[in-house]
Chain A
């Protein structure tokens, strides 16, 4: 292959990759915007912890992990769920508590998961899912199946014993696991500096037998490449990796509104981050790649249509039948999984 052809091919691949990122980013953003729009109807009866602002992390990391990669999340997992599955039908059915959801409305927004797609579970008890991810990483190591597990958590989780104990056991047992710390500098409304008796999470984690990478960006591609590097490190060093990423939570801790009037953070800070909003940034990138506005709009309309359709289906579907209440408390021999 001539040099020029080679370069064109790389550019093409890069364009395709960035287009993929944008599709996922837009899907997540628009889905959450629909939640904001419809939440006041009081038909989505559950606490909502919105991902808005952090989409680039979910999309970049999940894309790097690939279909085989397994992820664990927290109560703020809309972005992870959609990045991993792109399944808006199940997403909205679950959020409306309907029988058509594969989770049967038992989990809601806080405990979304899709084991068939490698989204293995989410917990609303901060940090409690991290040990579970370690156990799955151990099973993968035992089976030698080459799978990489990734667990997402915030800086709040770093205050918990489960985080440090898991980091210790993963470092000790050389587990193939990627810790993704999504630092929004807040635990509910309490800023990091009011909770942590040290200046840098990264400098402390660096003392463990664990790879450490960090980045502060809203560029999905940068996060994707960083994650690829992390995965490579996990494989070559046979040690876990801690990936530290900063982002800004656009909305209140729980709920669908802004809360800049609450006094614990400033609107200016939001505006600073919003200038480099991950979805807008990615859209501009596509234009730079020479993809035309019209093409992008066509794509967006298609995604919007899918979301609208999923919402309509979820709204029309019946609630989960009463017999589901008692099902799956225990595994029972005669019932299939």
Chain B
């Protein structure tokens, strides 16, 4: 019997970059701390040793300028990978992203390509508070010309990252820090997963939950509990490519279940969850048995202290309660259930 190889999400990211850098000498990786002893939570481990300082380097603390730098290299035949330890820091580069990177191909009437990849990490927990915890995918997805990807599983982390590296367009690749611990089967040879479609993480008949990033873990947990407690079958769809957003799988699922919940790893107002709700109401109106409901961050900055932070983030319990209320079910006793948190990390498998 063939042995199944399991690696972590974090190792999958590292493996994808290493294999791609071996394949294409035009790829280089840069950003603050990329070659330091911590190696961006080990995702860049071994790269500077293997590919040298020319292709793996630290930068001045100049996020916006170094994004423009990546753009200039990308239009000149290189394939830059720019890494940010937090999405919050990437916000310093919104000028380059919204004014330059996103429209450079359009502004040359297609004469130049922009194969620029930006990796950014979503932080959470242990008091990281309001400047180390943002996801912000809807901000980037709002701008035409940027692709926005949020991988959830280790398999996707590798396959989507390789696809993003090979893409001829700017891609923003948003990785949740808590997913770094997830371990699952990941093929060893390089492979791509097209940046085109959502992913059904769990099939179900009764309710559709569309989730992004970490919220998929919460949705899967909720689905397991609901199955056990109520014999309710929940379909969990990982939206994963939020721009350009292809709603085909989601529309198909909601037309089947008649119920839709969006669990977004972000604030709700004007966010990606509103986009999903709008698409579902446009395309599934006659099949909907209840209004689309949205679950996301509290509409506050992310607080530091644990007691408030726990209320800021939505979790599996919120999803369970929302579904119970949607389907007029009695509230299940959850006192013996084990949920994920900073201390109780999710380790996979999916």
- Given A143-B77, A337-B110, are A169 and B62 neighbors across the interface (CB < 8 Å)? yes
How far is it, in angstroms, between the C-alpha of A106 and the C-alpha of B66 when the chains are bound? 26
Q: Assess whether B69 is in contact with A132, with CB atoms less than 8 Å apart.
A: yes
Are B110 and A136 within 8 A (Cβ)?
Answer: no
B107 touches A106 (CB 8 A): yes
Residues of A130-169 at the interface with B, using a CB-CB cut-off of 8 Å, are 130-140, 142-143, 161-162, 165-166, 168-169
Q: How far, in angstroms, from A106 to B107 measured CA to CA in the complex?
A: 7
Q: Is B54 an interface position by the 8 A CB rule?
A: yes
Partner of A331, one of B95, B96, B168: B168
A79-137 residues with Cβ-Cβ distance < 8 A to B are 102-104, 106-107, 111, 113, 115-116, 120-121, 123, 125, 128-137
- Among the stretches A277-285, A294-302, A322-330, the one at the interface with B is A322-330
Q: Does B104 contact A (CB under 8 A)?
A: yes
Interchain CB contact under 8 A, A138 and B95:
no
* Min distance, Cβ B346 to any Cβ of chain A, angstroms: 34
- Chain B residues near A133 (CB, 8 Å)? 72
Q: Which of B58-110 contact A (CB under 8 A)?
A: 59-60, 62, 64-78, 80, 95-96, 99-100, 104-110
Question: Does A2 count as interface, using CB distance less than 8 angstroms?
Answer: no
Q: Is B274 an interface residue (CB 8 A)?
A: no
The reply on B348 being an interface residue by CB < 8 A is no
With A143-B77, A161-B64 as given contacts, are A138 and B69 in contact (CB-CB < 8 Å)? yes
* Per-residue contact bits, chain B 42-70, to A (CB 8 Å; 1 contact, 0 not): 00000000000010000110101111111
- Taking CB atoms, residues of chain A closer than 8 Å to B326 are none
Residues on the B chain within 8 Å of A327, using CB: 110
CB <8 Å contact, A136 and B72:
yes
Q: Give the interface size class of chain A.
A: 35 or more
Judging by beta carbons under 8 Å apart, are B64 and A131 in contact?
yes
Q: Is the CB of B69 within 8 A of A128?
A: no
Contact B76 A128 (CB under 8 A): no
Query: Are B69 and A131 in contact, with the CB atoms below 8 A?
Result: yes
Report if B113 contacts A (CB, 8 A). yes
Pick from B74, B110, B147: contact of A328, CB under 8 Å: B110
| Interface check B190, CB cutoff 8 A | no
Shortest distance between the CB of B83 and any CB in chain A (Å): 16
Most A C-beta atoms less than 10 A away, residue of B66, B107, B244: B107
Contact call B64/A165, Cβ cutoff below 8 A: yes
With both chains docked as a complex, state the minimum distance between the C-beta of B242 and any C-beta of chain A, in angstroms: 15
- Does B349 count as interface, using CB distance less than 8 angstroms? no
Q: Kindly state whether residue B255 has any CB partner on chain A within 8 Å.
A: no
Residue A172 lies at the interface, judged by CB distance under 8 Å to chain B: yes
- Report Cα–Cα, A169/B109, bound state, in Å: 29
A335 at the A/B interface (Cβ < 8 Å)? yes
Contact check, B67 vs A131: say whether CB atoms are below 8 A apart: yes
Q: Does B127 contact A (CB under 8 A)?
A: no
Q: How many residues of B contact A (CB 8 A)?
A: 42
CB of B144 closer than 8 Å to a CB of A: yes
Shortest distance between the CB of B114 and any CB in chain A (Å): 8
B105 touches A329 (CB 8 A): yes
Give the number of A-B contacts (CB < 8 Å). Answer: 140
Are A330 and B244 in contact, with the CB atoms below 8 A? Answer: yes
Q: Name the residue on A nearest B65 (C-beta).
A: A165
Contacts of A113 in B (CB 8 A): 107-108
Cβ-defined contact, B76 with A136, below 8 A? yes
- The answer to whether B74 and A329 touch across the interface, beta carbons within 8 angstroms, is no
Q: Mark interface residues in A183-226 (1 if CB within 8 Å of B CB, else 0).
A: 00000000000000000000000000000000000000000000
A140 vs B75: C-alpha distance when bound (angstroms): 11
Known A136-B73, A329-B144, A329-B145: A121·B108 in contact at CB below 8 Å = yes
Interface SS of A by simple majority = helix
Q: How far is the CA of A162 from the CA of B96 in the complex (A)?
A: 10
Closest B residue to A170 using CB positions: B69
Task: Please determine whether B113 and A131 come into contact, CB atoms closer than 8 angstroms.
Answer: no
- The winner among B78, B110, B114 for most chain A CB atoms within 10 A is B110
Shortest CB distance A331–B (Å)? 4
B112 at the interface (CB under 8 A from A): yes
Q: How far is the CA of A104 from the CA of B108 in the complex (A)?
A: 9
* Alpha-carbon distance A32/B70, docked complex (angstroms): 34
Out of A107, A140, A165, A166, which one reaches B76, CB within 8 Å? Answer: A140
Q: How far is the CA of A189 from the CA of B70 in the complex (A)?
A: 33
B169 CB–A CB distance under 8 Å: yes
Q: Can you name the residue of chain B whose Cβ is closest to the Cβ of A116?
A: B111
Q: Is B169 a contact partner of A125 (Cβ separation < 8 A)?
A: no
Tell me how far the C-beta of B172 lies from the nearest C-beta in chain A, rounded to whole angstroms: 14
Interface string of B190-225 (1 = CB under 8 A from A): 000000000000000000000000000000000000
Query: Are A328 and B76 interface neighbours, CB within 8 A?
Result: no
Check B73 against A128 for contact (C-beta < 8 Å).
no
CB distance from B199 to the nearest CB of A (A): 21
Chain B min CB distance to A87 (Å): 14
Q: Which residues of A contact B112 (CB under 8 A)?
A: 115, 120-121, 337
Q: Is the CB of B107 within 8 A of A131?
A: no
Query: In whole angstroms, how far apart are the Cα atoms of A33 and B43 in the complex?
Result: 57
B72 and A328 contacting across the interface, CB-CB below 8 Å: no
- A331 with B60: CB separation less than 8 A: no
Partner of A115, one of B28, B78, B108, B114: B108
Q: Give B contacts to A, CB under 8 Å.
A: 28, 54, 59-60, 62, 64-78, 80, 95-96, 99-100, 104-114, 144-145, 147, 168-169, 244
Known pairs A107-B107, A130-B65, A133-B72 / 12 extra A-B pairs, C-beta < 8 Å? A121-B107, A128-B96, A131-B68, A131-B69, A134-B68, A138-B73, A139-B73, A139-B77, A139-B78, A162-B64, A162-B68, A329-B145
Name A's B-contacting residues (CB within 8 A): 102-104, 106-107, 111, 113, 115-116, 120-121, 123, 125, 128-140, 142-143, 161-162, 165-166, 168-169, 172, 327-331, 335, 337
10 pairs, CB–CB < 8 Å, chain A vs chain B: A102-B111, A106-B107, A125-B100, A131-B72, A138-B72, A139-B73, A139-B77, A166-B65, A328-B109, A331-B110
